[in-house]
Chains A and B, each alone.
Chain A
Amino acid sequence: MNDPLKKRITDTIAKGRVMLFMKGNPSMPQCGFSAAVVGVLKEIGVPFESFNILADNELREGLKEYSSWPTFPQLYVDGKLVGGADIVRDLHARGELKKIVAGAPVASA
């Protein structure tokens, strides 16, 4: 991966403490998995930023390589990948997501 793309990826991840890369945007998700993660984040009431990967193919493909994670959504907290839809739902069901977004270390990563 070239350095400008890598920098663009890390800068985009840093846009929010809680940063969601998704298909579509929170008010109009373009995929059920992305919608599910938006729903969970809204349920726990944490402010988050989002990025629509459908609108930027270079960043979309680059981020897959950067994170060794081939699918979206991808949720980052403090720059660290928390997971995709399965993991986010699982952590939420166990009450751990709230602790992670509150700043607890990501024990599951």
Chain B
Amino acid sequence: MTPDDIKARIRTALPDAEVDVVDTTGGGDHFSATVVSAAFLDKGLVDRHRLVYAALGEVMRGSNAPIHALALTTETPDEYRQARQ
């Protein structure tokens, strides 16, 4: 997997999302991602993460899934702006 693969999958499911993905070990299996989307509005953290996991589908499921770990930050556009003011 590459960060661009992950980004593309997330944006297919959440077309408005701004997505930043980093390969944290350089090994193509541990990543961290920040996803900013209006789809997270009025959703708790568990449901936000579920949306991203659902977007990634089989690449995160199963014992041989190519993604072993994905550290996630999920924000709405407003939260993103407030956090960086």
Instruction: Name A's B-contacting residues (CB within 8 A).
Output: 33, 57, 61, 64, 68-71, 81-87, 90-91, 106-109
| Size class of the B contact interface (CB-based, 8 Å) | 10 to 19
Task: Let me know if B53 and A68 touch, CB within 8 A.
Answer: yes
* Complex Cα–Cα for A34 and B73 (A): 18
Partner of B50, one of A33, A68, A90, A106: A68
Question: Could you tell me the distance in whole angstroms from the C-beta of A9 to the nearest C-beta in chain B?
Answer: 16
A108 to B71, Cβ gap below 8 A? Answer: no
Given contacts A64-B61, A68-B53, A68-B54, A109 and B70 within 8 Å (CB-CB): no
Can you report 28 A-B residue pairs in the complex whose CB atoms are below 8 A from each other?
A57-B63, A64-B61, A68-B53, A68-B54, A69-B46, A69-B50, A69-B53, A70-B53, A70-B61, A70-B65, A83-B45, A83-B46, A83-B49, A84-B49, A85-B71, A86-B49, A86-B72, A86-B73, A87-B45, A87-B46, A91-B45, A106-B44, A107-B44, A108-B45, A108-B46, A109-B44, A109-B45, A109-B46
